Structure formats: C-alpha cells, structure tokens
C-alpha cells in the first residue's frame, strides 16, 4: 500500500485486502458449522468482499462518519474488527492522531490485523483486544463501529452488548452498525435471497459453494428484520437512529447518543 500518494481528503475507496481467494466451499468435508477459524481467516478478505454487497462503500461511509463524529481524547472502537480492514482504511483517512481499538474473539483474525496495521501504528495509537465484545468496556469512546458482527451473537447478548456500547459512548457519540437482515415478508425474502445469490454467483461463487456456505451459516448467522434491529437500538438507549445503505439483505444504520 503506497501511503504517500493517498490524499486524506480523497474519498478513500481503496481497501487493503489480502489476495488469497476463498475456495473453502469448493471442496472439503461439508456440512459443518461456519467458524472464524484459521482456514476462514486465510481467505477472509476475499470472502467478505465477494459476499457482502457494497462492502467497500459501507466501510468508506463508516470512515467518513467516524472522522466527523470522532472527539479528540476519546477512542474509536471497531467491534468484530476481523483482519483490520476498516481500521486500516480509517487510519489513512483520519487527519489527526487518534486511539483506534479493534475487538475480536478470533486470535487468527487479530494476527492478520496486526500485520495489516503495521504502518498505521506509526500514525495512531492502535490496540487489539482478543475477547468477546460482550466482555469489553466501551468507556470513553466517541465512535463505535460494528459491521456484520451482531448477527453472530446470541440474541440476548446482542441487546446487552448494544446497551454496554451506549453507556460507554460519550455524549454525542456515534454507533455505525451494519447487518445481514431478513424481510418480514416471505415472498420478498425469497426474491431478495435469489438476487443475493445471483450477486455471489456474479462474484465467482459456484452454486455448490453458495449452497454449502448457506448450510454452514444456518443457526450461526441469525438475521433479524430491520424493524427488530432498529427497535433493539432504541431499547439500548439510542434516541436517533437512521438507515444509510441497503442492498439485497444487507443494511447499515447510524445511531446517536
Ligand atoms: C463478518 S466478520 C466482521 C467483518 C468486519 N467487521 C469487517 O467489516 O470486515 C465477524 C467478526 O466478528 C467476530 N466475532 C464473532 N463473535 C464475536 C464476539 N462475541 N466478540 C467479538 N468478536 C466476535 C468474528 O471473529 C469475525 O471476525
Ligand atoms: O450470508 C452469507 O452468505 C455471507 O456470506 C455473509 C457473511 C457475513 O455477512 O458475514 C457471512 C460470513 C462471512 O463473514 C462473510 C460474509
């Protein structure tokens, strides 16, 4: 990544993604539950960028909102930071030195994140916490980002985590959250799923890979409806919630304390 040529005022569209291609569901012994293990981590950047619609745009949008709502002297926390792709992008985009925290309970993910943020560490204070997010403190944070992570937590843990995030945020603090959701209307859910799977096929996944992944995610990734997720945000204490981006069954919101 050539940091010299990146003007922080530019719309930072280029993500730092490792090139290893996701072929996990091409072969191997399936079905088995999906897990963020070493095999997944090795190909994760390719997997998520080919599997989440508008992934690059969502992270870019989160970087813009984070820069705008960041309060000097506080922390910016990425929950479920995976290989550090968002924090690396944000680190290039923030104009002033900041404290950036990545939380993830997968040690292999954080090993990749450490490598990815080597140069960013020369600009910002970087901290990685390998723990369940629900065990962590969010005190003195002005921005918390949680993209495509709540969906993997037990339902009762999601509400507890969002309440803890709300209480840890400083006044005027921002939560940026993205999730896979389900339509409350069965016919729409079928149509959206068909279009989402066509999106995956367009990105090079074979039908067998798509089916095997879907089976592996059963009961591992548990989506809510938009309305359920928004209600959970209000129940956590947030008083302003708005949606920013949605394509197929993936949506992003911002919430203000
Ligand atoms: C789909 S990935 C998130 C993608 C990432 N936010 C991004 O935008 O590239 C979900 C991540 O959440 C992590 N995770 C799952 N359950 C967690 C928990 N209870 N606490 C912290 N991290 C968790 C996984 O290890 C994985 O890295
Ligand atoms: O729902 C799916 O089929 C996906 O592949 C989505 C999803 C996600 O939303 O996190 C699932 C697992 C991986 O983390 C990458 C993408």
Angle between helices 55-69 and 85-93 (to 10 degrees): 50
For residues 220 and 40, give the distance between their C-alpha atoms in angstroms, rounded to a whole number.
Answer: 14
When the pLDDT of each residue in the chain is averaged and rounded to a whole number, the result is 95
> How confident is the model at residue 10, as a pLDDT?
56
Please check whether residue 59 lies inside any domain of the structure.
Answer: yes
Closest-lying ligand to the alpha carbon of 77?
Answer: 1
Rounded distance from Cα 210 to ligand 2 centre (Å): 11
The confidence score (pLDDT) of residue 29 equals 82
Kindly state the percentage of the chain with pLDDT values over 70: 95
Q: Check whether 11 has a pLDDT greater than 90.
A: no
What would the mean pLDDT of 184-191 be, rounded to a whole number?
Answer: 98
pLDDT at 7: 53
Q: Which atom of ligand 2 is closest in space to residue 152's alpha carbon?
A: 10
Q: Which ligand is nearest to the CA of 250?
A: 2
CATH of residue 201's domain is 3.40.50.150
In a domain, 21, yes or no: no
Query: Which atom of ligand 2 is the closest one to the Cα of 249?
Result: 1
Q: Which pTM does this prediction carry?
A: 0.96
Is residue 235, in this structure, part of any structural domain at all?
yes
Q: How far is CA 239 from the centre of its chain?
A: 22
- What's the whole-number mean pLDDT along residues 170-183? 98
On the question of pLDDT at 8 being above 60, the answer is: no
As a whole number of angstroms, the distance between CA 157 and CA 215 comes to 23
User: What's the whole-number mean pLDDT along residues 223-234?
Assistant: 98
Could you tell me if 226 and 236 are in contact, meaning their C-beta atoms sit under 8 angstroms apart? no
Cα–ligand 1 centroid distance for 151 (angstroms): 9
Query: Cβ contacts of residue 8 below 8 Å, gap of 6+?
Result: 92, 93, 94, 95
| 137 annotated binding-site participant | no
What is the total count of domains within the chain? Answer: 1
Mutate to test the pocket of ligand 1, among 149, 178, 221 (most ligand atoms within 8 A of CB): 149
Does residue 14 lie within any of the structural domains? no
Distance 37 CA to ligand 1 centre (A): 11
Q: What is the mean pLDDT of residues 230-249?
A: 98
113-136 residue pLDDT tens: 999 999 999 999 999 999 999 999
- 164 pocket-lining for ligand 1 (C-beta < 6 Å): no
Of the ligands numbered here, which is closest to the C-alpha atom of 221?
Answer: 2
Rounded distance between C-alpha atoms, residue 229 and residue 166, angstroms: 15
Structural domain includes residue 2:
no
DSSP-assigned letter for residue 169: E
Check: complex ipTM more than 0.95: yes
pLDDT tens-digit map of 59-72: 999 999 999 999 99
**Domain contains 3:** no
pLDDT at 96: 86
Domain span at 163: 30-256
Distance CA 226, CA 184 (A): 9
Average pLDDT over residues 205-216: 97
Q: Which phi and psi (to 5°) does residue 158 adopt? A: -60, -45
User: Residue 179 Cα, ligand 1 centroid: separation in angstroms?
Assistant: 11
pLDDT band at 52 (very low <50, low <70, confident <90, very high): very high
Ligand 2 centroid, distance to 71 Cα (angstroms): 32
Q: Which two tokens stand for residue 191?
A: 């149509």
Residue 238 inside a domain? The answer is yes
Classify residue 129: in a domain, yes or no: yes
Residues with CB under 6 A from ligand 2: 47-48, 51-52, 148, 180, 213, 217, 221
Rg (CA), the chain: 18
**Percent of the chain scoring above 90 in pLDDT:** 91
pLDDT single digits (tens) 129-175: 999 999 999 999 999 999 999 999 999 999 999 999 999 999 999 99
Known binder of ligand: residue 147?
yes
DSSP states of 88-148 as a string?
HHHHHH-SS--EEEEEES-HHHHHHHHHHTTTGGGTSEEEEEES-GGGS--TTEEEEEEES
Residue 189 vs residues 40, 66, 149, 212: alpha-carbon distances, Å = 27, 32, 21, 19
């Amino acid at each position: 990544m050539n940091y010299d040529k990146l003007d922080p005022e530019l719309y930072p569209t280029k993500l730092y993604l490792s090139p290893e291609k996701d072929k996990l569901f091409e072969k191997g012994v399936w079905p088995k539950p999906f897990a963020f293990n070493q095999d997944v981590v090795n190909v994760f950047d390719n997997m998520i960028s080919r599997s989440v619609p508008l992934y690059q745009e969502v992270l870019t949008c989160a970087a813009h909102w984070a820069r705008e709502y960041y309060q000097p002297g506080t922390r910016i926390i990425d929950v479920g930071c995976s290989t550090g792709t968002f924090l690396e992008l944000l680190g290039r985009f923030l104009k002033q030195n900041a404290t950036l925290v990545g939380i993830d309970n997968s040690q292999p993910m954080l090993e990749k994140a450490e490598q990815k943020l080597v140069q960013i560490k020369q600009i910002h204070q970087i901290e990685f916490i390998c723990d369940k997010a629900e065990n962590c403190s969010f005190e003195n944070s002005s921005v918390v980002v949680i993209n495509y992570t709540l969906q993997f937590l037990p339902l009762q843990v999601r509400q507890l985590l969002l309440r803890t995030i709300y209480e840890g945020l400083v006044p005027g603090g921002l939560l940026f959250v993205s999730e896979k959701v389900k339509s409350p209307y069965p016919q729409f859910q079928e149509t959206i799923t068909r279009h989402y799977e066509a999106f995956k096929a367009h990105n090079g996944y074979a039908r067998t890979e798509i089916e095997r992944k879907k089976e592996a995610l059963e009961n591992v990734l548990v989506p809510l409806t938009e309305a359920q997720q928004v209600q959970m945000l209000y129940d956590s204490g947030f008083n302003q919630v708005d949606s920013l981006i949605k394509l197929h069954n993936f949506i992003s919101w911002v919430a203000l304390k």
